[in-house]
Amino acid sequence: MVDAEKIFIKQLKKLDLLLQNGKSPEGMFFVKDKNHISIPLIRIALEQAENFQADAVFFRIFADEEKRSPVPQIYIYRNTSLTLDEAKYAGIHCRLWNAGLVPLAFIFTATSIRVLNCRRAPDIDRSTNKPLFSPFSLLESLILTEQAFITRDITTGTFWEDPKFKSYFTLEKTAYHQLLIYLKDFRKEILKQETLSKSVTNRLLVISILVKYLCDRKDADGNGVFKKGFFSQFSKNGYDDFASLFLEHGSCVKLFENLSKHFNGGIFELTEDDKRELSNADLRPIADFLRGDQEPSGQCIFWPLYSFEDLPIELISNIYEEFLAKKQDDKPSQKKTDDKGVVYTPPMLVEFLLDQCLPIKPEILQWKILDPACGSGVFLVGAFKRLIYCWRMVNNWNLPSLKDLKSLLKNNIFGFDEKPESVLITAFSLCVALCDELEPLSIWNELKFDDLRQRNLLARDFFEIVKSGEFNDHYDLIIGNPPFESSLTTTAAKDIEKCESMNRPELPDQQLALLFYEQSFKLCHESATVCLIQPAGPLLYNGNGISFRTYLFGKFHTECIFDFTSLDEILFTKVQVAAAAIMGYNHPPSSDKILHIIFHRTRASKEKLLFELDPYDFHWVDRKLISDNKFVWKANLLGGGRLQTLLKRFSDFPTLGEYLEEQRIKRKWQFSEGYIIGCGKKLNDASNIQELIRLSPDARKKKFELKRLPKTAEWISGALDVPSSALNREGIDWNHIKSCKATFFEETRNSVKEIFSPPHVLIREIVDKSSIPAIFSNKYLVFSNQMIGISAPKKDAKKLKALADQLNDSGLYGVLAAMVSSRMLVNRATSLLQRDIFALPYSEDMEKVDFNFWENILIEDIEKYLIEFRNKGETASVLDGVDDSDLFNFGETFCHILNPVYEKFFPLKPIKLRSFICFPFCYGDAPDIDPSDTNKAGLLLEKLMLHKHGNRLFVNRILRLYEENVILIIKPNQKRYWLRSIALRDADETLVDLLDQGY
């Protein structure tokens, strides 16, 4: 073995990229071995790495998630030259930044390990516009001092959560994000200048991206799609580049006409109106855009860093989707509004769901795959790529011919969308995906696009197709992201719901996406899969949806619900929406439980690196609970486990709403939300209010063309008005209390006007820290519908005050609200609905409830940590490092649960590694193995890894190892893994393990 090879192997071993026995740990694969790899997606990833000249790839393997694909994390380069060719690796760095395949690249030289951060562009030489070698010095320095940490931290995902690196892998620095910002700014500028209409601007940008992609494609010999001199034939001045054609009137139109005839398929086709508009417009800004000489603002940009040859085709599809999802650019002077029906679907989410539904197996080559609301085609592009991988696997990994590729598209890929523009963009996306599999010369010499819009991609309303029955029992997989609309937007959808609701509960919130899911099963073969993204509120959390959920989960076999509620601010860029994906099969339920997986907001998910899941995120829901317990899903969102049992403590209590209704009947109490100004706002803003007062309500309605009657209320106008923001758990801030200036109202609460009279209680519809702000008052106070008022006769003043004190002073009610509210932690961070507050358990004797040891732990952890974790995500305190008191409390709780059965468990000294903590627990008098010496802890764990548990030991983030009379609990050094509530769950699972082992 030559010295260079020995040095390389020694370096790999130091970083634990090779084990001491020379074997590769799980996750490490060499490119030269690709032909012997049995896992299809790893083999494909190694082929991609070879295209970037890498020698090996280190993957993140998800050992407990069998349906999840390994994710490449590090490209490894072995530099055999005496000196490092910095220009070569600068070029590779640039390509990897464009491709977005891995976040890191390691270059092993004879004397050092150089690191490249591929989530950031390399620096650029301004004089030559070429990339410069830009090593990631911080990580290089850390590897020198702690060589083995990187493998373990990458393997478990803790690397991305390390505070040292949190600002180095941001999404904003990626090629795709920066290019997208540039495209969006340019499009906005063009629309602002009114150079072109919106439809032609979109069409031109879509076509231009495809042409730009074709221009950048090169084979190993440097051959491109377009030969030298190709563009000059359309130029009056002999320009031979795509961008310059836009300097001349009509030249780009001639190019597109030529490409349309050459490729067919309608991809480059323009209407006569489009051609006239393009021929007459000044398109010089388009030329500047394609050249990349400057941004719309006029600042110089480094366009040479971008290459459409390396940008993933999925991201090109997502660029198209951005054009569909924005409405606000039509008139830039207007206030921005979002089209909530169209939601940008991130590639990370697409790949994850395809992992679950579309395995690389021979049988999928026979599947017909449908996206019922295809948008830009991101799901169909991903499915098409997987079909190609499967075809290659079945055909001894040969490359498919053009005929094979077109056959896969024709026979397997289908999409519907009521918007013709969406269908056209899906066709574009699939054409780019097809081109990506061909050599440049083949694209020009052989490729003729089929017009997929004739048969595969239909510009039709999904519900019209369902009504027609023409595609019933037709598909094997339906997957996608239908529009989130709280109304049935088409006649066919209304007709279907009217018919269906005669035999089943009505759709919650009239949610269109839920109707997409239910009706999709009509188009499926028996036992086919349906996986659609849904709004989480109507699907899981809304109280009025329990009947429909019971029906839906009882009719079709629901295998899994992927709950992205906690990612509402980061998963979708267009709207803040709580989403979940439901995966079901077209047959009745065949198991007693549904898997509910909670995705938490972490640094890795925020930066679109990957989804991070732990064993604590997996919850099995008994089907019997779906109809009996409407809070089961919310309990899982807050940690699951014993929370269900805690909620049962209150099952015999009346709700606050029931209590108040009883008091209304027996003791003449009144309760309601406060006034609503609503339609009265226009009148209140008028200058002639006194004249309007003299008009009848009907006359006011007619005069202002209002849908509802504006009313007056002398019991509200002029009274002391409490804005909701002035009420918190400390009481009322009187500095913000003024007389109500409003004269006209939509809702005056005339029938329950006593709620404004003392004695009364004001309740704000929010959770403030751990309480629901409530105040007892003996003053006449008015308030809006963001607060609830409860009034009673004077003799019941003590009861009212006790009610207010219980809501306001007890941390329990903030926790209960978090668990029972259909709104809190789902759509808005801490706000509540009136029905949420009325659903809370309440009794005059409630303060006498005596909580036990573990119930207090759950209440305190939810109050202190878990609500904040849901609201703040990666900035929450629960993601801080662990201190000694956290570990002491964890150990005490863990043993407290075990020892009523086993009596002799006690904690040993925790062992703090770089990003992990190993906490040993001993049974009996003395440990048979000694993990107490921190200096020897690494050796002990290495021994367990090599000789007892194989190299999978650190593939998992959460481990419980049973060695002799010692239990080793190994978890990341983050507070959320060492909470007392987590100790309860660990202890419960340990009890099951010990019982299963016969102890």
- Name the residue among 610, 646, 612 with its Cα closest to residue 629: 646
Residue 332 has pLDDT above 60, yes or no: no
Q: What is the DSSP letter of 634?
A: H
Residue 37, by phi and psi: left (phi above 0), alpha (psi -120 to 50) or beta?
beta
- Name the residue among 143, 134, 137, 48 with its Cα closest to residue 93: 134
Averaged over 121-126, what is the pLDDT? 88
pLDDT number for residue 299: 47
- Cβ–Cβ < 8 Å for 859, 851: yes
- Cβ–Cβ < 8 Å for 861, 950: no
Distances 527 to 215, 465, 480, 672 between C-alpha atoms, Å: 44, 21, 18, 49
pLDDT number for residue 156: 84
Cα 141 to the center of its chain, rounded Å:
34
What is the distance between the alpha carbons of residues 96 and 176, in angstroms, rounded to a whole number? 12
How does residue 951 score in pLDDT terms, banded at 50, 70 and 90? very low
Residue 686 has pLDDT above 50, yes or no: yes
- Cβ–Cβ < 8 Å for 483, 342: yes
- Asked which of 438-452, 736-750, 794-808 is least confident by mean pLDDT, the reply is 438-452
- Cβ–Cβ < 8 Å for 122, 94: yes
| Strands ordered across the beta sheet of 774-777 | 670-673, 787-791, 760-764, 774-777
Distances 595 to 353, 515, 591, 648 between C-alpha atoms, Å: 15, 22, 11, 21
Average pLDDT, the chain: 88
* Cα dihedral sign, 183-189-191-195: negative
Averaged over 584-589, what is the pLDDT? 95
pLDDT number for residue 977: 95
* Cα dihedral sign, 363-365-368-371: positive
Residue 909 has pLDDT above 80, yes or no: yes
Condensed to tens digits (0 to 9), the pLDDT of residues 702-761 reads 999 999 999 999 999 999 999 999 999 889 999 999 999 999 999 999 999 999 999 999
- What is the reported pTM? 0.90
How does residue 254 score in pLDDT terms, banded at 50, 70 and 90? very high
| Strands ordered across the beta sheet of 28-30 | 28-30, 56-60, 71-78, 104-108, 113-117
> Is the model more confident about 507 or about 323?
507
- Cβ–Cβ < 8 Å for 229, 393: no
What is the distance between the alpha carbons of residues 644 and 394, in angstroms, rounded to a whole number? 48
How crowded is residue 625: how many other Cβ atoms within 10 Å of its Cβ?
16
- Asked which of 399-408, 572-581, 990-999 is least confident by mean pLDDT, the reply is 572-581
Bridge partners for 413 per DSSP: 369
Averaged over 478-507, what is the pLDDT? 94
Q: What is the DSSP string of 549-609?
A: HHHHHHHSEEEEEEE-GGGTTTS-SS----EEEEEEESSS--SSEEEEEEPP--HHHHTTS
